Copies of this chain bind each other. A is one copy, B any other.
């Protein structure tokens, strides 16, 4: 085991730590897509998207293959979707907690 487990886990999550990469993965949840479509949906430079796709590829989260003139991308495993779903849940929990706290500080809405 050359790479400590904690490091591997951290790298996995860090891979998800970029808005463009998150969007790509979410778009790919609906099935394989060509770069073309991702580019149309995401509003980022082509080279930038390509860099982020390379990161996802290196991390083993997506696979790609050429299909005629297009390059198709797909999630390498459906587990990726689970991870995103878990992220959504926790985001909800954390954000509502934080908002509640903010409201308390601000005294907004002042019931009781």
Judged by a CB distance under 8 angstroms, whether A39 is at the interface is: no
Closest residue of chain B to A9 (Cβ to Cβ) is B22
Assembled-state Cα–Cα distance A104/B96 (Å): 47
Interface of A is mostly: helix
Selected contact of A90 from candidates B83, B89, B109, CB within 8 Å = B83
Q: Using A10-B17, A13-B13 as known contacts, say yes or no to A82 and B77 having CB atoms under 8 A apart.
A: no
Question: Which of A's residues lie within 8 Å of B, judged by CB?
Answer: 2-4, 6-23, 59-61, 76-77, 79-80, 82-91, 93-95, 97-98, 109-112
Number of copies of this chain in the oligomer? 2
- How far, in Å, is A89 (CB) from chain B's closest CB? 5
A45–chain B nearest beta-carbon distance, Å:
17
Could you list 12 examples of A-B contacts with CB < 8 Å? A6-B23, A8-B95, A9-B22, A9-B91, A10-B19, A12-B94, A14-B16, A77-B93, A77-B94, A80-B90, A83-B86, A83-B90
Which residues from chain B contact A91 at a C-beta distance below 8 Å? 8-9, 12
